[in-house]
Structure 1
Amino acid sequence: MSLATQPHASGGAPELTDFPVPVVSGSPAPALPGSPVPPAHRIYFYSPDEWEVFITEWATGVAVSYRQIKQLGGSGDRGVDVAAFKTDRGLEAAWDCFQAKHYDGSLTVSDAFPEMLKIFHGVVDAFYCLPDRYVFVAPRGCGPTLNRLLSKPTELRKKFLELLDARGTVTRLYDEQALKSIRELAESTDFSIFQSLELNDMLDIHRKTPYFAARFGTALPARPPVEQAPANPSPGEAIYVKKLVDVYNEQDPASCTDVDSVAAHAKHGPHLQRQREAFYSAEALRLYARDSVPDGTYELLQDDVYTGVIDTAEANHSSGLDRLRAVLTQSGQLDLGAHTLISMSNLKDRQGICHQLANADKLTWVDTDE
């Protein structure tokens, strides 16, 4: 998608594609020397492609208000960069249009007029229905004249009709019948649908997404306290708990036959409880990551923990308990400093990740072949 496309008066129907998944990095954003650079100032120097990625990330923060958000593909965008659908009928029912522009200066009336023409032309040509909102999205916002007109819809419509009747360079892209139809539609349209979105407003939304800290190198939000593990294991714990029961059964076959008997055991019961607390700590970190860092960040951490402990797990051990202890000890010695989440984690999280891996059948403590 080009964020500064030229007007198109003809072409096929818009080709809409899903937003690409933003690139995930397990490493923190590089530190910049000197005073911190405010996010808005960084955005001013984005390339159009970088601005597009930012828009993609920002859209995830407003997606809860929409059934689906689509990105336009192809050069004939019909005046639509981002379409946000409010129903399952897409462009045929209620939707909002976000027109992204990354210019060196503020948007002017001459920038907005061709885009407004395109959206009206798309409607009269039945490519889509008129959006509920048509929002100009630019890092430096709108200039004073355009801002004033956007704040006074009646004057904006009057100005649009004047420019339309003047038959300037832009209008020459359309035939007379199209211009007549556009005028009729514009006369009956409430121009309050045309709005602008200021960068500070975008940043307020982006700040609530998992991408903000990674993009701008800011500190991660505070991590909520970890809830205590419930008294009884949940169905989601079944696999790793069963593997722990195998460990205790190997140590004391007569007394440790199932979860209940292990929980009542004077020695192994407290050990089991500590493992479950570690698992829940790691689960809390996983949920925190879901809301605080880009998708896939936590999985990258899990992968590195697995890589760091698997050789220890596959080595010869005299018992499953020795294997478990060796792996948990090894997890605490791993160099995971390249991972963003490490600053918000602790030793219990690392041990809990090992139990998550066991729950995913990637680690096993009792080797039945031994």
Structure 2
Amino acid sequence: MNLVTQLPVSGAAPKLLDFPAPTVSGLPTPALRGKPVPPAQRVYFYSPDEWEVFITEWASGLSYRQIKQLGGSGDRGVDVAAFKTDNGLEGAWDCFQAKHYNRSLNFSDAFPEMLKILHGVVAGFYCRPDRYVFVAPQGCGSTLDRLLSRPKELQKKFLEDLNKSSAATRHYPKQTLNSIREYAQSIDFSIFQSLQLSEMIETHRKTPYFAARFGTALPERTVVKETPVTPSPDEAVYVKKLLDVYNEQDPACCSDVDSLSVHTTYGKQFQRQRESFYSAEALRLYARDSVPDGTYELLQKDVYTGVIDTAEANHPSGLDRLRAVLTQSGQLDLSAHTLISVSTLEDRQGICHQLANADKLTWVDTNE
């Protein structure tokens, strides 16, 4: 008999919440004085809530469709849910149970949580997870570790404790315990697993959250790819604005991109502007994979704030305005920004062209 479908659903399903994005201030983590503190040691001092956030960050480095935290006290035995499909708790998923203790976990810690998750399945709150993983900074004690590595022995131990009257089992009516027992006898207990903190940290290291969380140096930036000869459609706006600049200077020989590209005076300048744009684009993509969401946009915002007055001032020509803005971008104090340690002057100028591409900066007022 399929107990999941036959048993009536009671109570409410767990409430799922998107895990909070890391706060982006743009400020680098203050340098540590003395010997650096390894990430594993820092984790030991986390609060239980911060430990759950760390787990969600870590899970983002794996191939999940979506990651959710459960809100409120009625978590139904689930702290972090990682979905493999768009069906959420009704499809394939993994469950991560966060336990931040100052000691390793033992079976008496695990049993009530295993009881909760199996009750959630037989009650129809969710389908059985592919994996139910205990995640604790201090790991599992030797006895629990041995049981987790021997699923049949774990199942036997679980059923033995299920037959005893304890603080964990007293919460459930006899009929519910009978249903859980019948279901527990039918499943493979290899779904219950544990994770080593060292393994989690290595995965977390590859996420955009690692440098911000642990105050480490940003990963090395790769070489910027060569700028393509022909501008792509994504460059259309800022390239048109540059064309207006040079057309204003030499209308006869700078009528389109082809003529501008081979111009003896402005062709190389135009190419340098495009190289700057691609450098900034490379920094943007680097930021996407290396720092929390919003970090690069905050840098863009401060560049805009620092150059907009210069851009809106009176200038003899669009070329003078362009040069003044690019010069000003290089003089801005952006030392508070995390990405400055891996950025160049070319990136700053490229950000100005990104802003022009977003119609936030213009060099020549073509409506005059």
Say yes or no: TM over 0.5: yes
Q: Which moved more, 1:79-88 or 1:272-281?
A: 79-88
Letter in 1 for 2:47: S
Amino acid at match of 2:61: G
Which secondary structure does the structure 1 equivalent of 2:125 belong to?
coil
Q: Does 1:29 align with 2:35?
A: no
| Aligned position for 1:90 | 88
Q: d(CA) in 2 for partners of 1:87 and 1:308?
A: 44
Q: Distance in 2 between matches of 1:353 and 1:129?
A: 48
Residues 1:25 and 1:56: Cα distance change in structure 2 (over 3 Å): farther
Letter in 2 for 1:357: L
AA aligned to 2:364 is: V
For residue 281 of structure 2, what is the aligned residue in structure 1? 283
Residue of structure 2 in register with 1:302 after alignment: 300
Q: Deviations over 1:243-302 (max 9, x none)?
A: 001001110111111111111211111110010011001111111111111111111111
Query: Which residue of 2 is the match for residue 117 of structure 1?
Result: 115
Alpha-carbon separation, structure 1, partners of 2:143 and 2:11: 32
Superposition deviation, residue 53 in structure 1: 2.1
Segment of structure 1 superposing worse, 10-19 or 333-342: 10-19
- Counterpart AA for 1:109: F
Return the alpha-carbon distance in structure 1 between the equivalents of residues 127 and 346 of structure 2: 55
Identity of aligned residues (%): 77
Residue 189 (structure 2) aligned to one of 188, 191, 205:
191
Instruction: Answer whether contact 2:77 2:116 (CA < 8 A) is retained.
Output: yes
Task: For 1:303, give the aligned amino acid.
Answer: K
- 5 Å-filtered alignment, 1:102-113, equals 102-113=100-111
Counterpart of 1:19 in structure 2 is: 19
**TM alignment of 1:195-214, pairs within 5 A:** 195-214=193-212
Instruction: State which of 223, 231, 242 in structure 1 corresponds to 2:229.
Output: 231
What displacement does 1:49 show?
2.4
Q: Give the deviation of 1:11 after TM superposition.
A: 4.0
SS of aligned partner of 2:243? helix
Unaligned runs of 5+ in 1: 1-9
Q: State the one-letter code of the partner of 2:164.
A: A
Distance 1:186 1:124 in 2: 10
Shift of 1:39: 0.3
Q: Deviations over 1:106-146 (max 9, x none)?
A: 11111100000111111111112221110001111111111
d(CA) in 2 for partners of 1:99 and 1:260? 60
- 1:22 CA drift (Å): 2.0
Amino acid in structure 1 at the alignment position of 2:204: H
Are the aligned partners of 2:94 and 2:131 in contact in 1 as well (CA < 8 Å)?
Answer: yes
- Is there any run of 5+ residues in structure 2 with no aligned partner, and where? 1-9
- SS of the residue corresponding to residue 295 of structure 1 reads coil
Which has the higher mean CA deviation after the structures are superposed, 257-266 or 82-91? 82-91
Contact kept in structure 2, 1:120 and 1:186, CA below 8 Å: yes
Q: Could you tell me which amino acid in structure 2 is paired with residue 197 of structure 1? A: L
Choose the corresponding residue for 1:329, options 301, 304, 327: 327
Matches within 5 A, 1:97-246: 97-246=95-244
CA distance in 2: counterparts of 1:232 and 1:131, whole angstroms: 50
Distance 1:322 1:174 in 2: 78
Deviation at 1:167, TM superposition (A): 1.8
Q: In 1, are the aligned partners of 2:56 and 2:67 still within 8 Å (CA)? A: no
State how far apart, in whole Å, the 1-side matches of 2:73 and 2:152 are: 32
Secondary structure at the aligned position of 1:98 is classed as strand
1:22–1:56 CA contact under 8 A, matched in 2: no
Moved over 6 A (4+): none
CA deviation map 1:16-49 (0-9, x unaligned): 1222222223111112221000001101001122
- Maintained 8 Å contact 1:11/1:76: no
- The reply on whether 1:271 has 2:269 as its aligned counterpart is yes
Count of residues paired in the alignment? 359
After superposition, what is the alpha-carbon deviation per residue over 1:291-325, rounded to whole angstroms, capped at 9, x for unaligned? Answer: 11111111111111111111111111101000100
Q: Which residue of 1 aligns with 2:246?
A: 248
In structure 2, C-alpha distance between the alignment counterparts of 1:271 and 1:93, rounded to whole Å = 55
What's 1:61 paired with?
A: 61
- After TM superposition, the score normalised by the length of structure 2 is 0.95
Verify the 8 A CA contact 2:52 2:79 in the aligned structure 1.
Answer: no
Q: Give the superposed CA RMSD.
A: 1.3
TM-score, normalised relative to structure 1: 0.94
Distance 1:118 1:41 in 2: 31
Where does residue 5 of structure 1 map in the other structure?
A: none
Partner Cα distance (1:122, 1:368) in 2: 65
**Matches of 1:317 and 1:363 in 2, distance apart?**
14
Structure 2 CA distance, aligned partners of 1:241 and 1:89?
A: 44
CA contact (8 A) 1:98 1:135 kept: yes
* In 2: Cα distance, 1:136 partner to 1:368 partner: 63
For 1:264, give the aligned amino acid. V
Q: Which of 18-27 and 145-154 deviates more?
A: 18-27
SS at match of 2:35: coil
